[in-house]
């Protein structure tokens, strides 16, 4: 009898102790470390192995750990190439088929765990490390999406074929040569191309082309993606992104002080990179909690969540008074990207009815769309070529990119005629998500199209399902997609219209095929930058604009909020390792947020 | 305790040895009507013939739920019921008498055996045939609470048989139900009421009305009055008696109390552990009980006369489990007669057993062989299963 | 046995037992018990209002054109009055119910969306509850009545389903069923929105009732009234549906009532996981949307939807409790 | 006894098979093709085929054998029988997103869920019992009414709303608790405070009502009345008797919440950024990470079955009268 009572009281004591324990834990909460930069991450990262990286979140982190032959200047716009591990821009042969690149000497790999090299400092980076990394990019067995950057290299296809034929990954002979990649000596690389590929130099500034140490990869094998061994300004100190929680980067002690600096050259302390000792990335999946954490001043800047565009900002580009009072400032930069609604050109309805597409394009009120969903943080697109590119012309006249209801209704008559006089059946719009923003966007387009008598059935699905329908089965009729350019060259975006890219999983997801476009594309593809090439690009854009395989939505504008103590913060694209420039005003941060 | 036991045994042995008719020793309840003159037994072919009925329930044990044994709830029971007559079936609770009643009506499947109703093998029927035959055989239950569906009105309960057999609908049904209610002594206006509004006796009347609805020839009365107050018991018994005379219904009247059966039965069968151990006409059985178990039961009949006339026989030990019935005569562990007889028999013919923590000597035959149900001294048709009695 | 205590005198042939004026079925008794607590009428009327709103939402009075119309600026806070005919000579301020709960991102009335959401909430939860109750009742009756291999099979099925944590199973099913097309009777069906949610909820929630029903049926099938019905020749279906089911039906009613509450709440979870209703406003979606809106201190949509769910749940909960007390004999005498 | 234990173990087998069957059908036939998630954009058809082959998605057959698979040149993976053996050997496939065997992921994340859910459960149970006792002691009077009413109120607020309210009011508004997040080891204890508080608040009501009913049932049983008649002090009697008889329902309840202690709460973990299994599940759902969804569904269910079985056996060992069939 009595025992039961004591069990109960004993249990209550345990509960009490638990509560007290949790309460006591608040006593030992440590404040933010003054030498650490705190960055919130709302998207997850996929990998830290450059060969596998194709997403922005992963490359932002890995960009601090690896370096490439080239990089872009963090501060200069338009983007300007700088030589990072190379001594200078490549020497290109007359026919544009042979590139010769010289490497900086005395740069070493750094292994933060000391697992590959006990002394942590690895061997010097040599030409073979680049060639090894590039072979990996072309390895069939790695789920890597970057193989296309070396498509033009002599022998790349054979190597890919060879890796595919070698069923057992471990049997791949990494010493097997690729004709196009040649290390003439330890510090010189010669690249041979089948056809001119002027974008190669951009590709060599692209993170997947970073040199890899074969010893490190052999050591970590499949876990390479969690154990980056590179030459960048930071090294990985604590990686718990599997727990979706945090990644801590620490200063690379053997980093030479700047991308353009040769090892051994002294750098003034104030110019020395990286500026901060540590960067801590904290991962969140939901938007609301990290927003609160940022508002508490615990994160130094906050890239406004992609689904919450404009929530933090009152109208247009104006901050809410509350944020202004707290000294938060808004950083903005146009992104070299485009979002669009794609038509499936193989679809018997929308693909075969150009007038219908044109009518729909004219019925879509982009300005209102941008105002509603982007709070003005976007530009009305005039064509596939995005801002910041040499041939971008914001004043380009494109009748199908402008909202014009009368013209649209006029076009609809034609569209109905093309459809055999029958009214246009319901069109299915596929959206790759079902959250608030997608739902509201779906509603918006639906209402726009209803004005010209086109009924849209909006279908919300997840990303995987979306890709399956758009790229695999090609059953999507009308869908929403975007394109982030890889480098500031028009070819990178115009390839999405090349008919040779129509294939299962191919880049030409709207299955657009136009003989004239193809002819111009293949012509421009092999040309180096020149006024003639720019002319070709403009012509190609005009063809696409007339055919309307896309209904452009907007060119996005990148926004971020920063606290007043963060210095040198700029929103960038293409650049890797830029976080080394960020600096904290320790005094200001210590003061915290102004109250009021 | 020991001494009184001996006294009881003496009485029993006296009963057996003298064979004297000591009817006067047994009481008769003054509240009950005087029994009708017993009609001659075995007049014409029986309405219901039960032969060698067995109802066994399997016992499952172990990992694979194998059948490791059988509970022999009913183990080879045979009897006849004449049209318009009553067979009383008596035994302690758990002896299988209720199972017999339900097995006959096929509410519980029989293991083996046959039931012949009006010369027709009742167990051979299926489906619609069976449904049709059920009209002629009904049952009245012991528990007046659980036997009436609490969610149905009295009218629906009594009228259900009419609906099921498509006999009457609408106002016809209402009239018939009213007549039935009236016949069992209930106000016809009660038809719209629910069972829980009634007293136990009234509910039992409802049950009777339901059984009567199909004008059956045979009704199993499964202890219809044992849950009722004594004064109400007689009312219900009178009702049943009237109904039998009026409608020539045959009853299988199940009871655990010989007193109830005495005034109601033409013939009485006593059951012990799934078997009939004695059967005789009413007068014969009460006057001249043969089986020691019957004698013990008779001694337990309550006496309205407060002056003690006989010693009450208390049987030693518990009723054995029907899953493990004793060998030989199932009654032998509790039987005072075999113990008495063992004292007089040769040592070689006896055997020592342990029962209820007590070591006793009993006749070897009682332990080893099952006594057959055989004619005993007295009226023809008086059968009992005992090695000792004659 | 209570009847044994009845005074003998009362049980006369004339039946002088004091009977109430009107026949008292157990249902009527239950209603009488419900009636004694006047608060139950409050709950019932609130529920009736919800039901009425849901029905109105099926008419054009609260149709897509109403909830979808832009009634004010983006994220206008709740206001009692608003300006109409803006920019015209007739511009004036008047009472505008559409603004009482403010507006959403597209300037739509949160109040109208909320009212329309009643339709979605009640449709989803009623249909799911019906589905779950029907499955649970039928399987429970079958298992309890037939026993043997039928029972073994059904018991196995519900034990298996019960072994998968409900939330996992429901989410997995909702995920798998979402927007799936399938062929049946030569026709193509597509599960969009409400049907797939209803199926995910209904197919995973019948276990509790089934188990309860099975136990009750096992008990009832041994009762004498079932034997009596058999003896008079009643068929199996009659025994199950006329005798056993009415005697176990209170379980169904209680489960049904409380099921609705849990399904309204489950819709919020499914909406959070992106598996909810689309194309039309639902409370779950509104709360989910509010996650972003709260970044701008837009609280009205969140508060409105939470309050709507709260009101419905609380009435159903209290009424369900009252029903349980009134119908379930086991709990009688406790409260 | 041994026979009972063996039978109880054997009874679990068809249930485990049932779980496998249900999950297999659900994920093999109804759910969408996950190969694209693995592949990402810009994959060549040959590579896609290879991925599908590697995941065993190319031939959804029920029964397969290693020999047959080799003959056809495909991997012996993803079929019903191989999945069955995977379970027997506790061998899990690799997650698409994390590139780790799901078993390892579960092993890493389950303790986190447990670290949050166990305090929630313990505190909640304690509060529930205390509140229910208060109700039982004061049946029909104002403390009972207030607690019962409060319990129902708490049950009626959507969980998501409670979480959001907790975060914005207690976390951000008042600044008492960290809004969300996690840290390593013991450093994460203070991050647990708010989720625990929210979890307890959300789950309190149902239990209070349940235990109140159970306790009131006990209060009116004969032996309690007898004990009171004997003059045992009211409070003492209530506490001892009521607690002892609440014991079995508490244990039964505990058994039903076991899987949730491991699984955690989908909403709570997602919103508070707790790296537990619940968050993993949501993540897998959004990423179409079939191996995780599949393995978690059957892994946790089977773990639950085994726990249930062990509890039953433990019951019988402790008290042979209790035979749960």
Boundaries of domain holding D279 = 102-287
Question: Band of the pLDDT at A303, cuts 50, 70, 90?
Answer: confident
| Residue D17 falls inside a structural domain | yes
ipTM: 0.75
pLDDT (average), residues A487-500: 87
Q: What CA–CA distances, in Å, run from C52 to A333, A379, C115, C122?
A: 52, 46, 10, 11
Give the pLDDT confidence score for residue D35 in this predicted structure. 63
Residues A399 and A262 reside in one and the same domain? no
| Residue C308 falls inside a structural domain | yes
Give the pLDDT confidence score for residue C4 in this predicted structure. 38
Residues D45 and D191 reside in one and the same domain? no
| Residue C275 falls inside a structural domain | yes
- Quick count: other Cβ atoms within 10 Å of Cβ B271? 24
* A562/A560 Cα distance (integer angstroms): 7
Give the pLDDT confidence score for residue C68 in this predicted structure. 76
Question: Band of the pLDDT at C181, cuts 50, 70, 90?
Answer: low
Give the pLDDT confidence score for residue A143 in this predicted structure. 65
Torsional class of A43: left (φ above 0), alpha (ψ -120 to 50), beta (otherwise): beta
Last residue of a domain, which of A255, A280, A305?
A280
Give the pLDDT confidence score for residue A128 in this predicted structure. 94
Interface test with C, best of A436, A443, A450 (most C CBs within 10 A): A436
Contact residues, chain C to chain B, C-beta under 8 Å? 1-6, 8, 10-11, 13-15, 17, 19-20, 23-27, 223-225, 227-235, 238, 242-243, 246-247, 249
Residues D154 and D181 reside in one and the same domain? yes
Instruction: Give the DSSP H/E element, type plus range, for residue B251.
Output: strand B250-255
Residues D153 and D269 reside in one and the same domain? yes
Among A542-556, B236-250, C2-16, C88-102, which stretch is predicted with the lowest mean pLDDT? C2-16
Nearest to A444 by CA among A456, A428, A432, A426: A456
Question: Domain with C167 in it: what CATH number?
Answer: 1.10.3720.10
Give the pLDDT confidence score for residue B293 in this predicted structure. 87
- Smallest CA–CA distance, residue A91 to chain D, in Å, is 31
| Residue D296 falls inside a structural domain | no
Provide the Cα torsion B7, B11, B13, B19; round to 10°.
Answer: 170
Question: Band of the pLDDT at D60, cuts 50, 70, 90?
Answer: low
| Residue D60 falls inside a structural domain | yes
Boundaries of domain holding A204 = 2-280
What angle is formed at CA D249 by the lines to CA D244 and CA D251, rounded to 5 degrees? Answer: 90
Q: What percent of chain D has a predicted confidence (pLDDT) above 90?
A: 8
Do B55 and B108 touch, CB atoms closer than 8 A? yes
Q: Do C313 and D155 touch (CB under 8 A)?
A: yes
The larger pLDDT score, comparing residue D94 to residue B386, is at B386
Nearest to B53 by CA among B17, B103, B5, B16: B103
pLDDT (average), residues A240-267: 82
Cis peptide before A274 (omega within 30 of 0): yes
DSSP designation for D94: B
Interface test with C, best of A311, A376, A466 (most C CBs within 10 A): A311
| Residue A468 falls inside a structural domain | yes
pLDDT (average), residues A133-145: 82
Question: Band of the pLDDT at D139, cuts 50, 70, 90?
Answer: confident
* A216/A225 Cα distance (integer angstroms): 11
Residues A108 and A218 reside in one and the same domain? yes
Average pLDDT value over all residues in chain A: 86
Question: Band of the pLDDT at D43, cuts 50, 70, 90?
Answer: low
Task: Identify which of C23, C26, C225 has the shortest CB distance to residue B192.
Answer: C23
Instruction: Pick from A540-549, B313-322, D130-139, D279-288 the range whose average pLDDT is largest.
Output: A540-549
> Cβ neighbours of residue C210 under 8 Å, at least 6 residues apart?
C135, C136, C137, C139, C140, C143, C154, C158
Task: Identify which of A320, A435, A440 has the shortest CB distance to residue C274.
Answer: A435
Backbone angles phi, psi at A434, to 5 degrees: -130, 20
Residue A87 predicted with pLDDT over 90: yes
| Residue D94 falls inside a structural domain | no
Give the pLDDT confidence score for residue D324 in this predicted structure. 42
The larger pLDDT score, comparing residue B62 to residue A360, is at A360
Last residue of a domain, which of A247, A263, A280?
A280
Give the pLDDT confidence score for residue B24 in this predicted structure. 35
Enter the tokens of residue C150.
């039928």
* Chain B partners within 8 Å of D7 (Cβ): 62-63, 65
Total count of domains within chain C: 1
Residues A518 and A388 reside in one and the same domain? yes
| Residue C12 falls inside a structural domain | no
Give the pLDDT confidence score for residue C22 in this predicted structure. 66
Q: pLDDT for C285-320, tens place per residue?
A: 888 888 878 877 788 989 999 999 999 999 998 888
Question: Band of the pLDDT at A595, cuts 50, 70, 90?
Answer: low
Contact residues, chain A to chain C, C-beta under 8 Å? 286-288, 291, 307-308, 311-312, 320, 372, 433-437, 439-440, 442-444, 447, 458-462, 465
| Residue C15 falls inside a structural domain | no
Q: Nearest-CA residue of chain D relative to C261?
A: D156
The larger pLDDT score, comparing residue A387 to residue A497, is at A497
Residue A594 predicted with pLDDT over 60: yes
Nearest to D45 by CA among A344, B73, A506, A172: A506
Give the pLDDT confidence score for residue B231 in this predicted structure. 81
Enter the tokens of residue A261.
């600096």
* Chain D partners within 8 Å of A242 (Cβ): 98, 100, 105, 108
Residue A241 predicted with pLDDT over 90: no
| Residue D51 falls inside a structural domain | yes
Q: What percent of chain D has a predicted confidence (pLDDT) above 70?
A: 73
Boundaries of domain holding C309 = 25-332
Give the pLDDT confidence score for residue B260 in this predicted structure. 80
Q: pLDDT for A453-476, tens place per residue?
A: 899 988 888 777 787 788 777 888
pLDDT (average), residues A51-57: 82
Residue C128 predicted with pLDDT over 90: yes
Average pLDDT value over all residues in chain B: 79
Q: What CA–CA distances, in Å, run from D312 to A44, D118, D318, D320?
A: 42, 21, 10, 11
Q: pLDDT for B38-94, tens place per residue?
A: 444 455 678 888 988 988 888 776 556 677 778 888 888 889 898 888 999 988 877
The larger pLDDT score, comparing residue C227 to residue B301, is at C227
| Residue A293 falls inside a structural domain | no
* Chain A partners within 8 Å of D100 (Cβ): 242
Question: Domain with A41 in it: what CATH number?
Answer: 3.40.190.10
Last residue of a domain, which of A238, A261, A280?
A280
| Residue C1 falls inside a structural domain | no
Question: Domain with A543 in it: what CATH number?
Answer: 3.10.105.10
Give the pLDDT confidence score for residue C87 in this predicted structure. 67
| Residue A124 falls inside a structural domain | yes
* A14/A22 Cα distance (integer angstroms): 12
| Residue C3 falls inside a structural domain | no
The larger pLDDT score, comparing residue C230 to residue D285, is at C230
The larger pLDDT score, comparing residue D232 to residue B357, is at B357
Average pLDDT value over all residues in chain D: 77
Residue A566 predicted with pLDDT over 50: yes
Interface test with D, best of C149, C172, C293, C319 (most D CBs within 10 A): C172
| Residue D48 falls inside a structural domain | yes
Residues D209 and D248 reside in one and the same domain? yes
Give the pLDDT confidence score for residue D135 in this predicted structure. 86
Among A343-357, C129-143, C161-175, which stretch is predicted with the lowest mean pLDDT? C161-175
Residues A499 and A393 reside in one and the same domain? yes
Residues D61 and D173 reside in one and the same domain? no
Enter the tokens of residue A42.
């709302």
Question: Domain with D195 in it: what CATH number?
Answer: 1.10.3720.10
Residue C48 predicted with pLDDT over 90: yes
Residue C18 predicted with pLDDT over 80: no
Q: Bridge partners of A71?
A: A82
Average pLDDT value over all residues in chain C: 81
* Chain A partners within 8 Å of D240 (Cβ): 1-2, 4-5
Question: Band of the pLDDT at A124, cuts 50, 70, 90?
Answer: very high
Do D114 and D262 touch, CB atoms closer than 8 A? yes
Interface test with C, best of D160, D165, D283, D284 (most C CBs within 10 A): D160
* C267/C119 Cα distance (integer angstroms): 13
| Residue D302 falls inside a structural domain | no
Residues A276 and A342 reside in one and the same domain? no
Total count of domains within chain D: 2
- Quick count: other Cβ atoms within 10 Å of Cβ D10? 11
Chains B and A touch (3+ CB pairs under 8 A): no
Do C285 and C271 touch, CB atoms closer than 8 A? yes
């Amino acid at each position: 009898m009595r025992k039961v009572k004591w069990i109960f009281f004993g249990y209550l004591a345990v509960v009490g102790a638990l509560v007290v324990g949790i309460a006591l834990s608040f006593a030992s909460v440590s404040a933010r470390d003054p030498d650490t930069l705190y960055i919130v991450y709302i998207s997850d990262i996929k990998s830290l192995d450059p060969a596998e990286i194709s997403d922005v979140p992963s490359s932002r982190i890995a960009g601090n750990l690896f370096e490439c032959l080239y990089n872009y200047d963090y501060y200069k716009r338009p983007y300007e190439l700088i030589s990072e591990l190379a001594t200078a821009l490549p020497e290109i042969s007359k026919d544009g088929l042979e590139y010769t690149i010289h490497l900086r000497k005395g740069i070493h790999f750094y292994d933060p765990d000391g697992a590959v090299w006990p002394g942590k400092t690895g061997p010097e980076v040599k030409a073979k490390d680049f060639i090894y990394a590039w072979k990996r990019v072309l390895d069939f067995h790695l789920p890597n999406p970057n193989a296309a950057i070396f498509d033009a290299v002599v022998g790349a296809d054979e190597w890919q074929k060879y890796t595919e034929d070698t069923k057992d990954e471990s049997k791949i002979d990494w010493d097997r040569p690729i004709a196009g990649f040649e290390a003439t000596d330890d510090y010189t690389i010669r690249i041979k191309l089948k056809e001119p590929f002027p974008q190669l130099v951009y590709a060599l500034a692209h993170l997947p082309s970073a040199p890899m140490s074969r010893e490190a990869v052999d050591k970590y094998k499949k876990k390479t993606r969690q154990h980056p061994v590179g030459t960048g300004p930071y090294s990985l100190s604590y990686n718990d992104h599997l727990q979706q929680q945090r990644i801590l980067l620490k200063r690379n002690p053997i980093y030479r002080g700047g991308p353009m600096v040769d090892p051994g050259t002294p750098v003034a302390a104030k110019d020395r990179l990286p500026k901060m000792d540590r960067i801590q990335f904290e991962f969140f999946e939901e938007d609301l909690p990290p927003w609160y954490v940022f508002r508490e001043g615990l994160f130094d800047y906050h890239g406004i969540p992609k689904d919450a565009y404009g929530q933090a900002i009152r109208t247009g580009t104006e901050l809410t008074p509350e944020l202004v009072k707290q000294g938060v400032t808004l950083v903005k930069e146009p992104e070299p990207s485009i979002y669009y609604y794609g038509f499936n050109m193989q679809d018997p309805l929308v693909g075969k009815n150009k007038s219908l597409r044109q009518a729909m394009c004219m019925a879509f009120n982009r300005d209102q769309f941008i105002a509603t969903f982007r709070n003005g943080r976007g530009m009305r697109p005039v064509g596939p070529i995005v801002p910041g590119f040499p041939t971008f012309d914001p004043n380009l006249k494109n009748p199908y990119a402008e909202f014009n209801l009368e013209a649209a209704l006029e076009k609809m008559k034609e569209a109905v005629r093309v459809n055999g006089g029958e009214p246009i059946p319901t069109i299915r719009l596929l959206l790759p998500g079902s959250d608030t923003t997608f739902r509201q966007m779906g509603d918006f387009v639906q209402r726009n199209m209803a004005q010209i008598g086109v009924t849209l059935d909006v279908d919300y699905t997840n990303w995987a399902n979306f890709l399956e329908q758009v790229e695999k089965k090609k059953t999507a009729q009308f869908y929403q997609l975007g394109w982030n350019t890889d480098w500031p060259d028009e070819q990178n975006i115009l390839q999405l219209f090349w008919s040779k890219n129509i294939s299962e999983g191919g880049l030409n997801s709207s299955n657009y095929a136009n003989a004239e476009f193809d002819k111009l594309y293949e012509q421009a593809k092999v040309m180096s930058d020149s006024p003639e090439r720019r002319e070709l690009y403009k012509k190609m854009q005009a063809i696409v604009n007339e055919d309307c395989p896309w209904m452009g939505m907007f060119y996005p504008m990148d926004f971020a909020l920063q606290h007043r103590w963060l210095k040198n913060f700029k929103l960038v694209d293409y650049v890797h390792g830029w976080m080394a420039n960020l600096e904290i005003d320790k005094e200001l941060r210590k003061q915290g947020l102004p109250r009021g | 305790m020991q001494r009184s036991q001996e006294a009881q045994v003496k009485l029993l042995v006296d009963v057996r040895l003298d064979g004297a008719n000591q009817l006067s020793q047994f009481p008769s309840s003054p509240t009950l009507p005087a029994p009708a003159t017993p009609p001659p037994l075995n007049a014409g072919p029986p309405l219901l013939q039960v032969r060698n009925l067995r109802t066994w329930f399997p016992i499952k044990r172990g990992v694979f739920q194998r059948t490791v044994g059988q509970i022999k709830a009913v183990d080879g029971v045979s009897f006849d019921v004449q049209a318009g007559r009553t067979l009383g079936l008596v035994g302690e609770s758990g002896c299988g008498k209720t199972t017999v009643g339900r097995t006959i009506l096929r509410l519980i499947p029989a293991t083996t055996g046959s039931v012949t109703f009006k010369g027709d093998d009742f167990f051979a029927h299926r489906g619609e045939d069976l449904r049709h035959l059920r009209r002629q055989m009904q049952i009245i239950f012991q528990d007046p609470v659980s036997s009436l569906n609490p969610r149905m009105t009295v009218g629906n309960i009594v009228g259900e048989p009419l609906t099921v057999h498509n006999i009457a609908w609408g106002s016809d049904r209402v009239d018939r139900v009213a007549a039935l209610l009236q016949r069992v002594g209930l106000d016809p206006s009660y038809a719209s009421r629910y069972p829980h509004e009634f007293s136990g006796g009234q509910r039992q009347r409802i049950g009777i009305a339901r059984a009567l609805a199909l004008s059956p020839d045979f009704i199993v009365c499964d202890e219809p009055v044992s849950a009722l107050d004594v004064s109400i018991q007689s009312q219900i018994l009178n009702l049943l008696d009237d109904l039998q005379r009026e409608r020539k219904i045959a009853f299988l009247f199940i009871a655990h109390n010989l007193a109830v059966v005495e005034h109601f039965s033409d013939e009485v069968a006593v059951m012990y552990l799934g078997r009939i151990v004695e059967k005789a006409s009413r007068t014969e059985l009460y006057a001249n009980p043969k089986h020691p178990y019957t004698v013990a039961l008779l001694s337990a009949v309550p006496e309205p006369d407060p002056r003690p006339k006989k010693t009450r026989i208390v049987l030693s030990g518990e009723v054995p489990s029907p899953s493990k019935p004793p060998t030989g005569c199932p009654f032998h562990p509790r039987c005072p007669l075999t113990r008495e007889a063992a004292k007089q028999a040769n040592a070689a013919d006896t055997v020592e057993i342990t029962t209820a923590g007590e070591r006793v000597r009993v006749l070897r035959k009682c332990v080893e062989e099952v006594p057959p149900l055989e004619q005993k001294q007295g009226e023809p048709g008086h059968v009992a299963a005992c090695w000792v009695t004659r | 046995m209570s009847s044994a205590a009845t005074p003998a005198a009362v049980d006369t042939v004339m039946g002088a037992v004091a009977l109430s004026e009107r026949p008292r079925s157990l249902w009527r008794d239950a209603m009488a018990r419900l009636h004694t607590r006047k608060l139950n009428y409050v709950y019932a009327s609130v529920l009736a209002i919800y039901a009425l709103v849901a029905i109105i939402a099926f008419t054009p009075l609260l149709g897509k054109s109403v909830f979808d119309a832009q009634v004010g600026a983006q994220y206008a806070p709740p206001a009692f009055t608003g300006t109409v005919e803006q920019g015209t000579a007739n511009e004036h301020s008047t009472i505008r119910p559409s603004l009482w709960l403010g507006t959403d991102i597209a300037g739509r009335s949160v109040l109208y969306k909320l009212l329309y959401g009643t339709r979605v909430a009640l449709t989803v939860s009623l249909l799911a509850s019906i589905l779950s109750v029907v499955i649970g009742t039928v399987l429970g009756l079958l298992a309890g009545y037939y026993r043997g291999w039928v029972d073994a099979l059904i018991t196995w099925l519900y034990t298996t389903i019960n072994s998968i944590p409900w939330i996992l199973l429901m989410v997995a099913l909702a995920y798998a069923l979402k927007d799936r097309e399938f062929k049946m009777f030569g026709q193509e069906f597509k599960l969009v929105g409400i049907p797939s949610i209803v199926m995910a909820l209904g197919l995973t929630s019948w276990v509790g009732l089934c188990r309860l029903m099975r136990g009750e049926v096992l008990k009832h099938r041994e009762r004498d009234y079932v034997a009596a019905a058999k003896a008079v020749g009643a068929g199996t279906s009659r025994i199950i549906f006329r005798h056993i089911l009415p005697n176990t039906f209170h379980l169904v009613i209680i489960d049904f009532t409380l099921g609705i509450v849990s399904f309204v709440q489950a819709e919020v979870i499914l909406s959070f996981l992106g598996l909810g209703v689309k194309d039309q406003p639902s409370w779950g979606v509104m709360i989910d949307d509010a996650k972003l809106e709260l970044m701008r201190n837009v609280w009205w949509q969140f508060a409105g939807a939470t309050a709507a769910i709260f009101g419905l749940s609380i009435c159903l909960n209290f009424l369900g409790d009252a029903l349980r007390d009134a119908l379930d004999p086991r709990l009688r005498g406790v409260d | 006894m041994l026979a009972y234990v063996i039978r109880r173990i054997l009874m679990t087998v068809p249930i485990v098979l049932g779980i496998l069957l249900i999950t297999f059908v659900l994920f093999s036939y109804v759910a969408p093709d996950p190969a694209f998630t693995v592949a990402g954009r810009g994959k060549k058809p040959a590579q896609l085929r290879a991925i599908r082959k590697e995941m065993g998605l190319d031939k959804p057959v029920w029964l397969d054998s290693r020999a047959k698979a080799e003959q056809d040149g495909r991997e012996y993976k993803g079929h019903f029988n191989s999945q069955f053996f995977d379970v027997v050997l506790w061998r899990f496939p690799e997650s698409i997103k994390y590139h780790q065997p799901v078993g390892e992921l579960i092993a890493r994340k389950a303790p986190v869920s447990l670290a949050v859910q166990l305090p929630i459960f313990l505190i909640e149970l304690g509060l529930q019992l205390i509140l229910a006792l208060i109700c039982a002691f004061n049946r029909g009077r104002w403390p009972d009414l207030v607690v019962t009413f409060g319990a129902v109120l708490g049950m009626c607020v959507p969980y998501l709303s409670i979480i959001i309210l907790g975060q914005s009011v207690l976390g951000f508004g008042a600044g008492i608790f960290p809004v969300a997040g996690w840290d390593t080891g013991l450093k994460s204890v203070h991050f647990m405070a708010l989720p625990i508080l929210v979890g307890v608040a959300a789950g309190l009501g149902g239990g209070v009502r349940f235990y109140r009913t159970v306790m009131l049932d006990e209060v009116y049983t004969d032996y309690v009345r007898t004990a009171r008649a004997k003059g045992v002090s009211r409070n003492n009697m209530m506490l001892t008797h009521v607690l002892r008889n609440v014991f079995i329902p508490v244990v039964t309840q505990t058994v039903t919440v076991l899987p949730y202690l491991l699984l955690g709460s989908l909403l709570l973990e997602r919103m508070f950024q707790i790296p537990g299994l619940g968050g993993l599940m949501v993540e897998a759902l959004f990423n179409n990470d079939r191996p995780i969804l599949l393995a978690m569904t059957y892994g946790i269910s089977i773990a639950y079955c085994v726990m249930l079985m062990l509890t039953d056996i433990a019951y019988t060992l402790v008290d042979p009268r209790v035979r749960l069939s």
